[in-house]
Amino acid sequence: AQKVTQAQTEISVVEKEDVTLDCVYETRDTTYYLFWYKQPPSGELVFLIRRNSFDEQNEISGRYSWNFQKSTSSFNFTITASQVVDSAVYFCALSNYNTDKLIFGTGTRLQVFP
């Protein structure tokens, strides 16, 4: 069975704090893809990153970084020096060639206060 767990329902931080959003996944496939999306208050899902199961290198994009660890089936997302504009719901998702669709976690709501 394929599953994505985002155990943190809501996180509140003060601006400039670093924050990590956890994502744990389950799959029996050796080839799979992991994603992160951001959903700001406007509602549209914004694509952030796609990572395949054979690439365990950490990724950094500006203040965003992702830590992929197959040993713990985790794909965590860290925002460094958070800003109010980072306030949103963040979704982690999983896909593979067997499911033909994205399997989303339940999302983590991040609130960044000034």
Q: Does 101 bind another protein (CB under 8 A)?
A: yes
Q: Is the dihedral of CA 75, 87, 17, 83 positive or negative?
A: positive
CB of 73 to another protein, least distance (A): 18
| Cβ proximity of 79 and 15 under 8 Å | no
Tell me the window of 11-19, 57-65, 66-74, 104-112 that interacts with another protein (CB under 8 A): 104-112
| Cβ proximity of 8 and 109 under 8 Å | no
Residues 27-86 that bind another protein (CB under 8 A): 32-33, 35, 37, 42-47, 50
What number of chain residues touch another protein (CB under 8 A)? 23
CB of 8 to another protein, least distance (A): 14
CA distance 12 to 87: 9
Phi, psi of 10 (to 5 degrees): -145, 140
Binding site for another protein (CB under 8 A): 32-33, 35, 37, 42-47, 50, 91, 95-97, 99-102, 104-107
